[in-house]
Structure 1
Amino acid sequence: MNQTEQQVLVVGVSSSALFDLHKEQRIFKRKGQHAYDAYQDKYVDEPLKPSRAFKFVTALLSLNKYLKKNKIEVVVFPRTVSSLLRALTRALGNTT
């Protein structure tokens, strides 16, 4: 495999840019990690609402279909790890 075939564009995006997490962030700031985790556990099956970067990331990833190769990858960085990862995994699974 030559160097050109190995090149992949990796884009990092925060979870709060990808999804509307204002309510979750307020809970975390006002009530702390335990309340935040409880909220995430309670609503883990509810889809996250898209935020400002969602359409851009979706369009960017759709280029992989056009290229017929996975040349573009997106890494999502959550502010807090905990239960949000389950919600993000489900939300991202619904878009691919």
Structure 2
Amino acid sequence: MTRKILIGLALVFALSCNKDNDDDSIRQEKGNVWLSGGLAFCAEQIHLDNGDTLIVNIEDVISFTSGDRVRVKYKELGINESCIPGIDCEIVDIEKIE
């Protein structure tokens, strides 16, 4: 009997724990890909319709050309001190739109 009560309490405790949800920090916006063509830091960006500028890795946008319209899902990593007012981000999903 005591064992059932302890298992029940453990189950209630496990279900009541606060679970972190990383999806809360994922944002989605539309914008234009901007590629400078150079090797400089901050050379690959996405200029969002809301006025923000995302600083992205070349691997995330290599299949796009400068000026392509995209819908991007991303996580903000912080303000890029070298590319102010750029936002460092991790691209979760990116797709070309018309």
TM-score, scaled to structure 2: 0.25
Query: Higher helix share goes to which structure?
Result: 1
TM-score, scaled to structure 1: 0.25
Structure with higher RCO (Cα < 8 A, 6+ apart): 1
Query: Higher strand share goes to which structure?
Result: 2
Bigger radius of gyration among the two? 2
